[in-house]
Amino acid sequence: MNIGVVITTYNHPVWLEKIFWGYLAQKDTDFTLIIADDGSKEETKKLIEKYATQLKIEHVWHEDLGFRKTKILNDAIKQTKCDYLIFTDHDCLPREDFIETHRKYAKKNIFLSAGYYKLTMPVSLKIKQEDIINQNAFDYEWLVQQGQTKSFKSIKLRAKGFWAILMDTITPTKATWNGANSSTFKQHIVDVNGFNEDMSYGGLDREMGERMMNNGLTGKQIRHQAICVHLDHKRGYDGKETWEKNRKIRQRVKKENIKWAENGIIK
């Protein structure tokens, strides 16, 4: 199984470099990073070139014409030869067993659903490469010592081994396609024509997952096993109008059992 990790990015090389450190620390090293770049400037390109000497990287870029995440994702899917794809973002720092866990549970006709543990901005800034190498960045007690706010959601970090498997078995949280941490075979995505390019920020990942479920896929929850911590950032592209537009598209997908995105990989 040829694994590709699709990482969306836009002009945030400081966070992206931390993410590269996370993938350099992976126990399973047989993967390709596919950078789906929504129009970043030269600094990001130079950073990618630097780490391409240590990691296998494909850089898929298009011109910055505003928020076009769905289009760059479709371009990345179309161009890569990897047959199993993990989707995440440049602000999601993977624990050392991230690739290993997705590979372990990969199976035809299912998609894997996980998420992240959100860090505060001060803690996000404090994380150095050595904290990723020694995995302190994923240790709840260490994070609290750095100033991280305590939360019941810390069970994602604290559950290990049998307990993590048990938590994923009994969790009431529905398995959904989450752009920060989900995976499936490329063919399953191609079968529904990828991401809907009519969608902007707000639910665009969920919508594709809903079409895949309409097409027969089942979601499997691994939120306590495939661990990422989320580096904080502002969201200047968020807005009520885009959420409302996307909500209506998703309602139609559910009501009409839509499987195929008309404005997807194939136009």
- CATH code at 163? 3.90.550.10
Beta partners for residue 36, in sequence order: 8, 60
Domains contained in the chain, number: 1
Q: What is the pLDDT of residue 243?
A: 82
Domain containing residue 22 = 3-256
The two three-digit tokens of residue 114, written as one number: 């996980």
Task: Look at residue 261 and tell me if it is in a domain.
Answer: no
CA distance 152 to 249: 33
CA distance 117 to 92: 9
| 117 burial type by CB count under 10 A (0-12 exposed, 13-18 middle, 19+ buried) | buried
Q: What is the pLDDT of residue 233?
A: 79
Task: Look at residue 196 and tell me if it is in a domain.
Answer: yes
CA distance 256 to 249: 11
Task: Look at residue 116 and tell me if it is in a domain.
Answer: yes
Cβ 111 vs Cβ 84: under 8 Å? no
Do β-strands 92-94 and 228-230 pair in parallel, antiparallel, or remain unpaired?
antiparallel
Q: Residue 204: which residues within 8 A CB-CB, separation 6 or more? A: 69, 70, 179, 195, 196, 246
- Calculate helix-pair angle for 240-256, 204-214, nearest 10 degrees: 0
Q: What is the pLDDT of residue 242?
A: 83
What is the SS3 assignment for the chain?
A: CCEEEEEEECCCHHHHHHHHHHHHCCCCCCEEEEEEECCCCHHHHHHHHHHCCCCCEEEEECCCCCCCHHHHHHHHHHHCCCCEEEEEECCEEECCCHHHHHHHHCCCCEEEECCCEECCHHHHHHCCHHHHHCCHHHCHHHHHHCCCCCCHHHHHHHCCHHHHHHHHHHCCCCCCCCCCCEEEEHHHHHCCCCCCCCCCCCCHHHHHHHHHHHCCCEEEECCCCCCEEECCCCCCCCCHHHHHHHHHHHHHHHHHCCCCCCCCCCC
pTM as predicted: 0.96
Task: Look at residue 263 and tell me if it is in a domain.
Answer: no
Task: Look at residue 58 and tell me if it is in a domain.
Answer: yes
pLDDT in tens, the chain (267 residues): 999 999 999 999 999 999 999 999 999 999 999 999 999 999 999 999 999 999 999 999 999 999 999 999 999 999 999 999 999 999 999 999 999 999 999 999 999 999 999 999 999 999 999 999 999 999 999 999 999 999 988 999 999 999 999 999 999 999 999 999 999 999 999 999 999 999 988 889 999 999 999 999 999 999 999 999 999 977 665 667 888 889 999 999 999 999 999 999 998
Cβ 137 vs Cβ 127: under 8 Å? yes
Task: Look at residue 262 and tell me if it is in a domain.
Answer: no
Do β-strands 3-9 and 31-37 pair in parallel, antiparallel, or remain unpaired?
parallel
Q: What is the pLDDT of residue 240?
A: 77
Task: Look at residue 212 and tell me if it is in a domain.
Answer: yes
CA distance 24 to 57: 12
Task: Look at residue 168 and tell me if it is in a domain.
Answer: yes
Q: What is the pLDDT of residue 235?
A: 64
